[in-house]
Structure 1
Amino acid sequence: MPELENFCPNCGQENKDQKVPVGVFIEELLTSLFSFDGRFLQTLTAFFFKPGKLTQSFNEGQRKKYTHPIRLYLVFSLFYFFMMGFLIPKDFFDRILNAGQPTNMATYQEIIDKESGEPVPVDSAAIKKALRKVDEIQSENFSNVSPANRGTNTPNHSWKALRFLSIDPEISAEEFGRALDSSSYAFDIGLPVQKKRDLVAHSNLFLIQVAKNLPLMMLFLLPVFAFFIHLLYANRSVFYIENLILGFHLHAFAYAIYGIVILLTFFGGIQSSWLILGAFVLVTTYAYLSFLKIYRHHWFKTLIKFWILGGLYLAVLLSGMAAELYLSLLLL
């Protein structure tokens, strides 16, 4: 049969031209990573409705029946961070800090929006025109950024005023520093005034940078999470890698639930505060039930260890987040 000549007699690899186009390469990569076959669907059933089942099956050697935990983690972490990057607006940082402040200055807002993207040369004429507009409107919140008062110690500078001062080339670093210190947004973490100015001027870029670094930070923290579990269950005959597998599954579940919350918030019109609270309760309960199933301790003993683990991991998570924010700020 001549068609057998198209395959290698040793490994079964198809003999074909290996110079594939980029599209074919990406297709094969995605097919390998996200093989949504019957096994994956079977995995999802156990993943969402049977806490601890996947970890227990993997540790017992049943590794062909379900999707590999690392692949599952990658799928849902990519889903979560894609939802964050795609659905959360680029000016999310400004929207929070500008909440409750008047938005009746189109020229002013246009310049701020322009600076929310990649840094571009500042139009001095447009800035002066906006300053005159500020002075004409005499808004209570923006009167402190009139030409006569820019950079002074006038208190209660709004976030928009600080943003405007930060991109004005006529305002020196010292003047901006005094304006920042007199506002309710003053902060002191050992950074020079110019770096603080960069943060205010490009705060949305800072948020984007943080979002880009967050997946890598979480991946580095996973082994720490598994190490804490290993310490708490040191008297059990459990290998460290088994605790790490549990960490992959629990984090994947958290990513899946919080990613769905983001979708429902932006497309379902559901109040986000209740969704976030419900998601937190669901993820926490899922993790606790997983511990009960895998380690088989009494429910109260498991609860105590679960609280200890949560406190330790929260401390590490907050420390890692602070370090990640600081490094992102230095790289801004």
Structure 2
Amino acid sequence: MWRTLVLLFRRPGELTRQYLRGRRKHYVLPLRLYLTISVLVLLAVRLSNLLDASPPQPAVQFDKDEPPKVELNIGSASVQFGFKPDGKGFECSNLPAWVCKRLEQRLGTGPGALANDTRGLKARLVDAIGPAMFVLLPGFAAWLALAYRNRRLRYTEHLVFALHVHAFWFAMLGITLLPIGGLQGLAWIVVPVYTWLAMRRVYGGRWWAQALRSAAVASLYGVTMLAALVVAALWALLA
């Protein structure tokens, strides 16, 4: 594991190259590496939420004269739902009718149920990340296979690269949980740079062609991730 982690962090993409060249006994298998890191990081995220001493600040607005309301911002879309000012009726905006009806069924006991339910919303969102990644990972590999179809690589080989890259992303997420200022900003810089270097080492090619392919993969994956986040948020709200 330590040999694998050192290579994963020191030389972006080299772990994938070693695996594709057949040196598989020297390092942890890609799926096992990804599962180990992702599970540990998600547990750390859940633990940090439980141990957070600061008062929670969910997107719930409490007012003496108005019942609580929830507002979720997903990308450029804003979703709102809550009880009417008189507390006798449910209303929501920018949501399908069946979703609004399901929310009303879950929270139909009154504004107090809405306030209590939002306390577990963040935990359910964290729980939804793991299953969502099992959709995002194959999607990322599929976009790589589409962008680099002239490399004559099998889909499983693209999937190996996706597993290694996502393992690094989860590791960076875990690092940002450390009580050190500036780590989140550093992660926003390190993650795209690391991914770019890893793609350069594994797929090669001229820098301008690599830039175009990377931009295409990032755009397609961004759409896929947004869709997965919407599904995860709906699951957290309706489950």
Q: What is the TM-score of this pair, normalised by structure 1?
A: 0.59
C-alpha RMSD of matched pairs (Å): 2.6
Does the alignment pair 1:318 with 2:226?
A: yes
For residues 4-27 of structure 1, give each alpha carbon's deviation from its aligned partner in whole angstroms, at most 9, with x where no partner exists. xxxxxxxxxxxxxxxxxxxxxxxx
Indicate whether 1:55 and 2:12 are aligned. Answer: no
Q: Which residue of structure 1 lines up, in the alignment, with residue 129 of structure 2?
A: 214
Report the counterpart of residue 74 of structure 2 in structure 1: none
Which of the numbers 160, 171, 177 marks the counterpart of 1:256?
Answer: 171
Give the SS at the match of 1:179: coil
Q: Compared with structure 1, are the counterparts of its residues 180 and 322 closer, same or farther at alpha carbon in structure 2 (3 Å cutoff)?
A: farther
Cα-to-partner distance string for 1:176-219 (whole Å, 9 max, x where unaligned): 721299xxx96441303344555443112222122112101112
Query: 1:178: which partner in 2?
Result: 84
Aligned partners of 1:212, 1:80: CA distance in 2, in Å? Answer: 12
Instruction: State yes or no: 1:236 paired with 2:151.
Output: yes
* 1:309 CA drift (Å): 0.7
Structure whose CA Rg is larger:
1
Match of 2:79 in 1: none
The 2-side partners of 1:224 and 1:199 are apart by 35
Higher strand share: 2
Give the direction of change, closer, same or farther, for the CA distance of 1:180–1:291 in structure 2 (3 Å limit): farther
1:223 to partner: Cα distance? 0.7
Aligned match of 1:95: 57
Aligned AA (2:169): A
| SS of equivalent to 2:85 | helix
Q: How many residues align?
A: 214
Shift of 1:220: 2.1
Deviations 1:297-329 (A, max 9, x none): 111211111111111111111101101211222
Q: Does 1:302 align with 2:217?
A: no
Distance change in 2, residues 1:305/1:94 (3 Å): same
Correspondence list, 1:130-149, <5 A: 142-144=63-65
1:68 is aligned, of 29, 34, 52, to: 29
Aligned mates of 1:330, 1:240 — CA distance in 2: 35
Other structure's SS at 2:176 match: helix
Task: Look up the SS of the partner of 2:57 in the other structure.
Answer: helix
- Return 5+ residue gaps in structure 2 as ranges: 70-81
Q: Aligned pair 1:278/2:186, yes or no? A: yes
SS in 1 for 2:27: coil
Counterparts of 1:49 and 1:199, CA distance in 2: 47
Corresponding residue of 1:26: none
Distance of 2:193 and 2:137 partners within structure 1:
19
Tell me if structure 2 keeps the 8 A contact 1:93–1:204.
no
CA separation of 1:142 and 1:216: change in aligned 2, threshold 3 A: closer
